[in-house]
């Protein structure tokens, strides 16, 4: 008889020991993994007609996970990218189980061998210089909210900070003296410092003076003097994009999110000749290869490259295969 391997025991250890203690995973990562297993456990309980507390690790096999991934695509409308994120969380758990329980190694290997689903990689969205200027000018500076929003937008568009990094900033993280910069705790718990331009310094100095907070107080706060949430930042961006589109109609054709502001900061650096290694450090990327996507998206860079080429002088005509087999292959 196979010894029992209760799922609740291993799952709790995975979150408390592996993610929290060993990997020091960020709150966003923990929340993403938590949501994945909430969905998976509910699906498994419905399929096996057993409550999650009575499940064994062996109950969740590769076949069931495949059905679960197909289900979240069809019933919840998840994209292939979201599906792959869920699979990555599941694989991380079973990698942990495989190390701690050799008896389940074969079971875990079948799950770890499940490939991610291929998906189309769309060209990333970003704002042009004119759109950036229109967006920063959109907030009404006669109001407290407008002055706060302008400082937030100016900082986001110049530094390329992630939303989590923006809302996590404290007043002491912004240094406006010699060597003006902003410090933040980025993805993977990596601290970095990003310089601030003179025009942004002026806006931030004015806002921090009005804010009047201590070093440990948040930079950007709500009406209740609490840190802004991710949803609040998204709403701020949406509201001012609508306002800015009156003067800059091209904004109406774009779906602008807080992450698009980050892309826009990166594209401004690239288009002004900054090396992609420096851009990777600026944005806090784990690898320089991650920055490659901005080169693919930069149509101006491609146009400059094309301008350096010369037309190929060849005789016009169309290739014609001279063999039936080659003709067959050509027609495929």
Cα 95 from Cα 92, distance rounded (Å): 5
Edge-to-edge order in the sheet of strand 181-185: 174-175, 181-185, 191-195
Whether 187 is a known active-site residue: answer yes
Cα 304 from Cα 149, distance rounded (Å): 36
φ, ψ for residue 144, nearest 5 deg: -60, -45
Catalytic residue of the set 33, 43, 126, 294: 294
User: Closest Cα to residue 264, out of 277, 242, 279?
Assistant: 279
Catalytic residue of the set 147, 211, 263, 285: 285
Q: Is the CB of residue 282 less than 8 Å from the CB of residue 195?
A: no
Catalytic residue of the set 187, 192, 239, 254: 187
Helices (H), the chain: 7-13, 27-48, 62-74, 80-100, 105-112, 129-136, 144-159, 163-167, 198-211, 230-244, 258-271, 276-283, 292-297, 299-307, 324-331
Instruction: Report in angstroms the alpha-carbon separations of 268 from 6, 147, 162.
Output: 52, 24, 16
Whether 242 is a known active-site residue: answer no
Cα 247 from Cα 332, distance rounded (Å): 50
Whether 262 is a known active-site residue: answer yes
Whether 106 is a known active-site residue: answer no
Whether 183 is a known active-site residue: answer no
Catalytic residue of the set 5, 107, 148, 162: 162
Q: Pairing mode, if any, of strands 181-185 and 191-195? A: antiparallel
Q: Is the CB of residue 216 less than 8 Å from the CB of residue 170?
A: yes
User: Which strand (E) or helix (H) includes residue 193?
Assistant: strand 191-195
Q: Is the CB of residue 112 less than 8 Å from the CB of residue 95?
A: yes
Whether 285 is a known active-site residue: answer yes
DSSP letter string, 1-37: -PPP-BHHHHHHHIIIIIIIIIS---HHHHHHHHHHH
Catalytic residue of the set 107, 147, 262, 276: 262
What the block records as the tokens of 167 is 């809302």
Active-site annotation, residues: 162, 187, 259, 262, 285, 294
């Amino acid at each position: 008889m196979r010894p029992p391997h209760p799922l609740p025991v291993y799952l709790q250890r995975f979150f408390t020991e592996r993610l929290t203690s060993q990997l020091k995973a960020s709150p966003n990562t923990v929340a993403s993994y938590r949501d994945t297993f909430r969905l998976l456990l509910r699906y498994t309980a419905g399929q096996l007609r057993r409550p999650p507390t009575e499940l064994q690790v062996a109950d969740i096999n590769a076949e069931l996970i495949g059905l679960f991934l197909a289900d979240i695509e069809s019933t919840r409308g998840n994209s292939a990218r979201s599906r792959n994120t869920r699979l990555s969380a599941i694989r991380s758990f079973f990698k942990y189980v495989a190390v701690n329980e050799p008896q389940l190694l074969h079971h875990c290997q079948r799950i770890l061998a499940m490939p991610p689903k291929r998906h189309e990689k769309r060209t990333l969205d970003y704002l042009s210089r004119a759109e950036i200027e229109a967006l920063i000018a959109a907030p009404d500076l006669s109001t407290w909210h407008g002055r706060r929003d302008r400082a937030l937008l100016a900082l986001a568009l110049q530094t390329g900070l992630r939303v989590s990094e923006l809302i996590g900033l404290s007043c002491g993280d912004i240094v406006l003296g010699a060597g003006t910069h902003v410090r933040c705790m980025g993805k993977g718990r990596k601290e970095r410092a990003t310089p601030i331009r003179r025009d942004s310094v002026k806006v931030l100095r004015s806002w921090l003076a009005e804010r009047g907070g201590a070093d440990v107080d948040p930079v950007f706060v709500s009406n209740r003097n609490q840190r802004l949430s991710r949803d609040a930042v998204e709403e701020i961006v949406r509201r001012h994009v609508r306002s800015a589109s009156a003067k800059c109609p091209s904004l109406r054709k774009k779906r602008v999110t807080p992450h698009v502001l980050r892309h826009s900061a990166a594209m401004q650096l690239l288009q002004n000749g900054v090396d992609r290694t420096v851009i990777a450090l600026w944005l806090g990327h784990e690898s320089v290869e991650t920055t490659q996507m901005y080169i693919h998206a930069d149509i101006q860079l491609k146009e400059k490259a094309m301008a350096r080429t010369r037309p190929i002088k060849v005789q016009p005509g169309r290739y014609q295969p001279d063999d039936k087999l080659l003709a067959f292959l050509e027609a495929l």
